[in-house]
Amino acid sequence: MARRALTAALAAGLTSCQKTERKIFDGTSPVAVLRAKSYQTELTDTILEGIRLCGLDVKGKTVLLKPNLVEFDASTAINTDVALVAAALRAFRSLGAASVTIAEGPGHRRDTLGVADEAGYWKGIRGFEDQFVDLNRDDVSPVANFANEKQFFLPNTALGADLIVSMPKMKTHHWAAATLSMKNLFGLVPGAVYGWPKNTLHYIGIDNSIVALNRQFRKTFAIVDGIVGMEGNGPIQGQAKDVGLLVFGQDLRAVDATCCRIMGIDPAKVAYLQQAADLGAIAANQIHQRGENPQAVRNDFQLISEFASYRLTPDANTKKG
Amino acid sequence: MVQDYLRPRLEVLRNNQNPDGGWAYFPGKRSWLEPTAYALLALHREAESEAWQKGWRLLRSWQRPDGAWQANGQVAEPHWSTALAVTLHCSQRVYDDSFQRGVAWLLECSGAESSLLVRMMTMVGLSKLGNDPKYRGWPWRPDTTAWIEPTAHTLVALKRAAPQVRNAALSRRVALGEGMILRRRCSDGGWNYGSRAALGIDLPSYPETTALALLGLQGSREADLSDAVRHASQLWQSSRSRWSRAWLAISLRLLGTDLPNEPTDQPVAKDLILNALEVLAAADGGFRHFRPEGKPS
């Protein structure tokens, strides 16, 4: 814990040394929470409803669906379920997107297509290989001022997309407390440059990297797979958790704050959500909740002891972030 | 029969060589060092051809002034795939100044956890990484931590380079690198990508990293690999991943295990590295590029 506190202090120090003054987000953001009982139900209509409730226009856009593919373990729920990705593919196509591509760059497995196969993507999505881009091994272009890096390389497929749809699994995370739509953008970093795992991100700092990626990619939408999530020692070794929800929104910070409230985690204590104050809403009174009320569907996730103090208290729901 | 399996894969590699002479990870994309190195190894029987030589020249042109190779023509940073470039030089028996500078860079490079500062912090209990930083492995890129895969590739390169290099540091780095791999072995007998445990909980081994760890440990005096080879054989039997099966076949064949050929009707992949690895993994001998003594057939 002391090491985590030291890292956070160093990160905060580095952040405060950065010259850029960022304006704190003071607007409001819609976030939709919709019930979805299982992966066997028809999810396309639910996704279309989530998109409608959040006012997203996708007509004519090149859309990149970014699921969370890590590795496969039949005994738990690590990856975004293929049924949800297949339904999103149908939904975005039906709304007139110019193109819809599925893309991912897993953090430590080299064989991305093999992981996708084990996770059922080849069977569950017809012609999967033709619709998929391995972001670990895509062509890349440099971007400037990524965190404290003078130059940082990112995949052209992601840089060229009009809309990146972050589709994470709702999971706890043993370093970051929760891994949701903002952390899911780690999969956009190319392993061909930064390795497996993308260890450079750990040296930049996990929280700093999450925020830097979200500052880089601003045209985003989130669909969080909370039908079955993961609690405990996530993102790989935790236990499956039935929640029965999908969470939608264009403001990824607001989506993740809402997910935290559903999971019984105080979003104000999650370092990267705090650090991303310029990117979106976190306070409950800045988030226009649509669909289900997060308090009514709260379903506390088990937290490892390092994060026991992150448990949401009743009054934290109404506090400013 | 093996030719029926190899022919379409070699054809895909020949047909997807970029105009600059290199290979991309996938058809139609830019050339990178990693797929170029594997494609050149897979096509080694055509090394006299102009096409092969063009790829070789491109790869050589990506060496940096510091001796390291970079990942492609665009990302101007030292990269772990320097190990592949050195292995390819050994396969071509080219031991010139470029080769020597590449080896020298590998000998200087190590995981950030092995820096003097971190080792001192470990000694006084201020760092609790869980891995002994004395055993210096290799990172994917400088100033980051060492991992199994880049360490294994570098060990292959250094072992192949050893007879051509007069540097006392080489055998010591090889021993330390082997020590790093041996001490990160998982409780199930194989290797994960980095550590044997996280937060005190054992991690499972992966097929591809187990294969690569065995590759790096070939010829190790410290290691009894018989259990690990048995585990790798089981992984080869059970793994669906063609990438994993190819690396396992390369390692197991090098360690003397007799394996059946993959079915000849297996479709050719779009992944160009996978095509090259499947060629190198076949029984006709390309896998010997990764043997410390070299000698491909």
In chain A, where the domains are located: 30-250+286-293
User: Domain A30-250+286-293 falls in which CATH fold?
Assistant: Rossmann fold (3.40.50)
pTM listed for this prediction: 0.93
Q: What is the pLDDT of residues A20-71, one digit of tens each?
A: 789 999 999 999 999 999 999 999 999 999 999 999 999 999 999 999 999 8
B127 → chain A, closest CA residue: A3
Element (H, E) at A247: strand A239-249
Mean pLDDT (chain A) is 92
What share of chain A has pLDDT > 70, as a percent? 92
Contact call for B241 and A114, based on CB within 8 A: yes
B1 touches chain A (CB under 8 A): no
The CATH number of B2-290 is 1.50.10.20
Q: What is the pLDDT of residues A181-239, one digit of tens each?
A: 999 999 999 999 999 999 999 999 999 999 999 999 999 999 999 999 999 999 999 99
Report the gap between the CA of A111 and the closest CA in chain B (Å): 6
* pLDDT, position A61: 98
B268 touches chain A (CB under 8 A): no
* pLDDT, position B294: 63
CA atoms of A218 and A185, how far apart (whole Å): 11
Stretch 111-170 of chain B: residues touching chain A, C-beta under 8 Å:
112, 128, 139-141, 143-145, 147, 149-150
A111 touches chain B (CB under 8 A): yes
Q: Mean pLDDT, 10 residues at a time, over chain B (297 residues)?
A: 92 98 98 98 97 98 98 97 98 97 98 81 69 90 96 98 94 96 95 87 92 96 90 96 97 95 92 97 91 68
Stretch 24-53 of chain B: residues touching chain A, C-beta under 8 Å:
24-26, 29-30, 32, 34
Q: What residues does A220 pair with on adjacent strands?
A: A164
Q: Are B263 and B226 in contact (CB under 8 A)?
A: no
Q: Which residues of B touch A237 (CB under 8 A)?
A: 198, 201
* pLDDT, position A5: 40
Q: Which residues of B touch A111 (CB under 8 A)?
A: 208, 241-244
B108 touches chain A (CB under 8 A): no
Contact call for A111 and B112, based on CB within 8 A: no
CA atoms of B59 and B88, how far apart (whole Å): 10
* pLDDT, position A6: 40
At A303, the pLDDT band (50, 70, 90 cuts) reads: very high
* pLDDT, position A315: 66
* pLDDT, position A282: 97
**Which bin fits B231, alpha (ψ -120 to 50), beta or left (φ > 0)?**
alpha
Point out the residue among B150, B240, B271 whose CB comes nearest to the CB of A117: B240
Mutate which: B140, B202, B273, vs A, most A CBs within 10 A: B140
B25 → chain A, closest CA residue: A137
* pLDDT, position B127: 65
A174 → chain B, closest CA residue: B199
A207 touches chain B (CB under 8 A): no
Helices and strands (DSSP H and E) totals, chain B: 12, 2
ipTM of the complex: 0.95
B75 touches chain A (CB under 8 A): yes
